[in-house]
Chain A
Amino acid sequence: MGYKIYREKFADLFHELRASYEIYAPVTKKDKGMYSDTDLITYDKVESFTEIVFDKKTFFSPKEIVFPIRQTLFYFTEDSVLEPTKLEKDIVIFARACDINSFRSLDAIFLQNGPYEDPYYKKLRQRVKFILLPCDGFENCYCACLGTNITDNYSAYVDVRDDAVYCKVKDAYWKGLWSKYGEESEVEPRYVSKNENTFEIPQKINNSIFEHQMWSEYTNRCTGCGRCTVVCPTCTCFTVHDIRYDDNSKYGERRRVWASCQIDGFTEMAGGHGYRHKQGERTRFRVLHKISDFKKRFGFQMCVGCGRCEDACQEYISLKNCIHKISEIMAEEEKV
């Protein structure tokens, strides 16, 4: 069902929604950008409709809403192990199609991979509803190449234009709320149909790519800072750490913390042995996971083409250029 709602009315609707949900959306953090005097556009909990930034891509993805950077798994007392029990409201996330699609990858790892569901992820994930945002594409995006430019997985669609908000509501529970504030109107989501960057994602990548000299360039350029994995909406790796409280060492926590395959220590075991010491090898590991390994296991691409890894890279390393290079190399091999 579609609705047209005037902005002031939508602010009221938003206010009513906020009574039942924690709402996360793109916001501006003044002067918190990557360079001096630049703002950071990122996800955060919002109190009012006017805080939401509709026309810019966020630097960080919404994944930390369901997969926090640091998450307590257990609290330790002297003689017990306790699970966190905090109960919270349901969650609404304002997101573009690529970001909504990125949750499929998170779900695959946390809910499908291996014999168990991850209870910490599930607890947050099952509370999430999406409000889809329209998208006209941004710099470095290539979602249309991956089919992640469209989605059906949303409860409502919201497009702010001029003095009104054009909405489509799929969630039966929400229709009453929307009809209270707006008039019925024909609304269909607006998606990117073609990005500025268009290229083929290689269907099959041979193991010969492991030995290819293309990776030495990344050994030279990549500094191993891990930004690409931090901003990626589909990176899910974590390390488990125990801590003890300073004021009482008999108490502490077991936490998981985001980990990065690009940073030293990712594969290192007690005793010092590790794998993939060169940054080129780490880049290869990351890139192949995003466009090949994951797909072999789960049947769909992990990468959603948001281009955040490229936006964040201080060495201007481009995943889309890397994918393009792999495609060319594989095509060349086909010919031989």
Chain B
Amino acid sequence: MIRNPYMPQEAEILKIFQETDINYTFRLKTDLKVKSGQFLEVSIPRIGEAPISVSDFGDGYLDLTIRKVGRVTQALHNLQPGDKFFIRGPYGNGFPIDKLKDRRLIVAAGGTGLAPVKSLINQYYNDSLEIKSLQLLAGFKSPGDILFSSELEKWSKKFPVEITVDRGSENWKGRVGLVTKLVADLDISEVENTMVIVVGPPLMMKFTTQEFVKKKISIGNIYLSFERKMSCGIGKCGHCKIDDTYVCLEGPVFEYSKAIQLLD
């Protein structure tokens, strides 16, 4: 019998961290080797399966930051540490670490788009990512939607972290506005040596990327991470196909010069 790539493996929940009202990070006990930007197919038998990006990983564990929005994710949120659910993967290409080497990196993340880049940022924080500098721009709907608050705090002591929210609140003293505004206000030195990663909702990615192009960042230096409906993760189900490209196989991370060719 050939290996069944649809067969999921069971993984135990080590810990659950509440990030916001509806976002929780599940730390799983596993030896799977993953790269920043890859995703897993996560499932609960008799409920369903869904693609979820890996938000962080380390020795013997990986983190999935999951938003309670669908059938599978609702069910996941009923689980406790010690419970198990199923995973298969990792799938997708992940971020191009080799292309970032010795470059200045700007990461622009919108909402839960911060999850797939979190591990990359942490690698820089822990001195294991060989880049020249890092700057993070993160946008959220409201102060209550801010993900990874303690990490953002910690990161901001080592490198520039700019946070903005679409709608402020009484106690919010930070910036209000879209991520595009943060980009517009940037003063980018060494434009040619700067790499950009944009992750977030489709419209945020579209306009943020355009803003970086206005800042003279070459379209070959910008990377986007796509989010698509997927039923298999291995190039069979067809849901994530755009033109001759399968997001699950050649993506989810695309160079912008390629991404602009991928029309829906």
A binding-site residues for B, Cβ under 8 Å: 73-74, 76, 81, 83, 109-110, 113-120, 122, 207, 210, 236-244, 249-252, 254, 256, 259, 261, 266-271, 273-276, 281, 285, 288-289, 293-294, 296-297
Contacts and interface: CB of A to CB of B under 8 A. Distances in A.
Given A267-B228, A271-B67, A281-B264, A109 B244 contact: no
B264 A276 contact: yes
Contact of B5 (A119, A259, A266): A119
Interface residues of B, number: 45
Given A115-B235, A116-B234, A296-B244, 15 more contacts: A81-B8, A237-B238, A240-B49, A240-B237, A241-B48, A244-B46, A254-B43, A259-B239, A261-B238, A269-B70, A270-B70, A273-B227, A288-B243, A296-B243, A297-B244
A259 B235 contact: no
A281 B242 CA distance: 12
**Contact residues of A: prevailing secondary structure:** mixed
A-B pairs, 8 with minimum CB distance: A270-B70, A114-B235, A237-B238, A252-B46, A296-B244, A116-B5, A76-B45, A113-B235
Given A243-B46, A268-B229, A259 B238 contact: yes
Nearest to A266: B239
B201 interface: yes
B46 A207 contact: no
Specify the main secondary structure of chain B where it touches its partner.
Answer: loop
A117 B4 CA distance: 9
B48 A289 contact: no
A83 B243 contact: no
A117 B264 contact: no
Nearest to A250: B46
A73 B88 CA distance: 14
Contacts of B249: 113-115
Interface in B1-22: 1-8
A271 B200 CA distance: 13
Contacts of A275: 264
A270 B228 CA distance: 10
